[in-house]
A and B are shown apart, each in its own frame.
Chain A
Amino acid sequence: MPRPSPIAMFAIAAALAATVAGCSSSTSASTSTSTAAGSTITYWASDQGSSIADDHTVLNPELAKFTKQTGIKVKLEVIGWPDLLNRITAATASGQGPDVVNIGNTWSASLQATGALLPWSSQNFSAIGGESKFVSSAVGSTGAAGKPPAAVPLYSVAYALYYNKALFQQAGIAGPPVTWADLIADGKKLTHGSVYGLALEAGSIPENIHNAFIFAQQHGCSFFSPSGAPTYTLPGCVQGVQQFVNLMGTDKIVSPGDAEYDQNQSVSDFASGKAAMLMWQAAGANLKAHGMSTSQYGVAPVPVQSGVPGQGTSVDSMVAGINMAIFKDTHNLAAAEKFVQFMTSPAEQTILSKEYGSIPPVSAAQQNAAFATPELTVLKNVLATSAVAMPQVAGESQFEQLVGTAVKNLFADAVSGPVSAQTVEQQLSSAQQQMTG
């Protein structure tokens, strides 16, 4: 007869509890324990090496060094680029995040607006050695003007033009182009059969937005007004973007297949000789992994209209790089600051930037001979003289996403022919209208 015995009810509860307990893991939360040597901090690193496993190989010895020096343990997690911003967003919303995190430096202003990152007041700066130890151009990309930086520079890179020496020689071109007219002319000479003059990562939103920004700057437009309002449809921006996409559409020096590229296939194409030129951030490490030796390619600044890189309309790169930030909610500020100090010390900066092929934004480390290679010399120069920071406004990540996608869509049009200014303006206008907050 129906008789729910207490034993049965207990059995239900116990079965559930036991299964849940048996299935649960003992992974700890990502907040750290309280202050003192012997404490642990959590560090989310970005994927800087050739793979995530590679990053672990590079960072673990350095972290061991830090633990030996200070007694503070560092729990490392390396997060791939597709997931990093999502994870940071989730950490921001939940208040449960790491102590220290790498961020793309262009994200600084947007993340700053969330209020989740520790502002680097002069007091905090002095804990790691002072703001002056960093190169000023790098500090310019750490947050909105007028507010304390939301992060400190960790690695610096810039865009440069890489060109295949053998292909240039075959086509009878003496040296790298300095104006766009030169580049197009050279590109046309180099494009024949299945080889193209220039490789572009035209399906990648970050690559598109960086390039679009540089081209727009060269036409005198910076996408945002001084007060921070979006101005995507100004003639300068429209012309800049149009010029960029028509490298494929009109000039036809870019392979239409590049419109699909968003996993660094353009670098592979350059390395294998399918393209003669490449505009990229510090491609040296990547090219080496593809088996291309430094004698096979040359590095030059990206062309500008006037032929001489400089400021204003002669900029040829955005200030690219990685910043390091501390979450405001950290339970162990002292330990986190010690770690930042360690990572931005000249010794560590030299080691890490050598591994990653970047330039250390710490002045003392930049003098090291390791950063005097032809490629890095060009990059250093660009950073010092002709690079400009991306807009440091709260809506910056929205800007990257919307305009980057717009340019990606314009390339989808460019595969079949020239793209008109009207089409460009339509896409940019639509992107601008979707900006909120």
Chain B
Amino acid sequence: MHSLGGKVAARRAPMAPPRSFIWTRRIVLTVLTIFALLPLYVMVSSSLKPLQDVTGTFRWIPSPITFSSYIQMWQTVPLAQYFVNSLIVCTCAAALSVLVATFAAYAVSRYRFRGRRVFTLVVLSTQMFPGILFLLPLFLIFVSIGNATGITLLGSRTGLIITYLTFSLPFSIWLLVGYFDSIPRGLDEAAWVDGCGPLRALFRVVIPAAIPGIITVAIYAFMTAWGEVLFASVMTNDTTRTLAVGLRDYSTQNDVYWNQIMAASIVVSIPVVVGFLLMQRFLVTGLTAGSVK
């Protein structure tokens, strides 16, 4: 019954909901909207206030309105450099995460092999590891690798990329398995008949059919990496610092530049918010596909 999947168009118009429902809907949705919007409004309005207004008594409407914080924020802190670092780290982590997860999900989805269940369980269970448990050990392991092989992982973007791509791997694999499962094997086998190996089938047939899932996974991995604070604070140095750590520098010895913090927050959030809003429809499809079994 559930396999009808989402969007069954009604053949006749749905019966009109009762008034009480409409009013409940209006009230609840309005309250939730205010709840969601309040901090967003504070961010925007505070970014337009001069420093003394934003550290003084709160006022709803900024007056005077000034864009100075959007200009000064690039100088108070090397924001552009942090931006570039974050972009590099997160894009690479997302790209690699997609690649690795695609291969793994293809294996789990298309093959019944010994250890399949163990692998899935182990990967899923890593979701519950408290980050603090493996922060220091991971650090020590990166150091050992650096000493043994000469590859610098600490303080370099590579180390952070490897860390971030692994963080998003469990969810990505889980989501992609769901997507791949919903792609009928007939497609694969049609490709085999045409003379493709399983890998070529993967690239020619399965991946194109699962593009929404792949985009979702990419954006999810990017978002996860963009917002991570703890590991970034330990594993970066001056040149490789990301935005997550860099924004803390706006609270200096003399002042907390709240207006610049808000302005920087807005600018920093735009990529992920836009990306997320664009892909959330695919996330929904992916989650539905995942739960349809």
Which residues of chain A have a CB within 8 Å of any CB of chain B? 1-5, 8, 11-12, 15-16, 19-20, 22-25, 27-30, 47-54, 77-80, 82-83, 86-87, 90, 93-96, 263-265, 267-268, 286, 289-290
Contacts and interface: CB of A to CB of B under 8 A. Distances in A.
B96 A19 contact: yes
B76 A4 contact: no
B158 A53 contact: no
A95 B140 CA distance: 10
A27 B255 CA distance: 32
A8 B88 contact: no
B248 interface: yes
12 contacts: A4-B199, A8-B197, A8-B200, A19-B95, A24-B156, A27-B237, A48-B253, A49-B253, A50-B252, A52-B77, A90-B139, A286-B254
Contact of A267 (B103, B139, B197, B254): B254
Nearest to B142: A94
A345 B140 CA distance: 37
B155 A29 contact: yes
B216 interface: no
Interface string B17-32: 0000000000000000
A53 B248 contact: no
B245 interface: yes
B119 interface: no
Nearest to B249: A52
A22 B266 CA distance: 29
Q: For chain B, which range describes its interface: under 10, 10 to 19, 20 to 34, or 35 or more residues? A: 35 or more
Nearest to B93: A23
Nearest to A24: B158
B225 to A, nearest CB: 12
Given A29-B146, A86-B234, A93 B197 contact: no
Given A25-B240, A51-B253, A52-B252, A2 B77 contact: no
Contacts of A47: 252-253
A93 B154 contact: no
Contacts, number: 128
Nearest to B256: A263
Contacts of A2: 192, 197-198
B194 to A, nearest CB: 10
A265 B78 CA distance: 24
Nearest to A48: B253
Given A23-B92, A27-B239, 15 more contacts: A1-B195, A1-B197, A20-B161, A22-B92, A27-B156, A50-B253, A51-B253, A52-B77, A53-B77, A77-B238, A90-B234, A96-B143, A267-B254, A268-B55, A290-B255
Given A1-B192, A86-B234, A20 B158 contact: yes
The 9 nearest A-B residue pairs measured at CB: A23-B92, A94-B143, A24-B158, A51-B252, A8-B199, A25-B157, A77-B238, A3-B197, A289-B254
Contacts of A23: 88, 91-93, 95-96, 157-158, 161
Contacts of A265: 256
B77 A50 contact: no
A93 B154 CA distance: 13
Contacts of B127: none
B173 to A, nearest CB: 16
Nearest to B103: A12
Contacts of A49: 253
Which of A22, A51, A52, A80 counts the most B-chain CB atoms under 10 A from its CB?
A51
B78 to A, nearest CB: 7
B66 interface: no
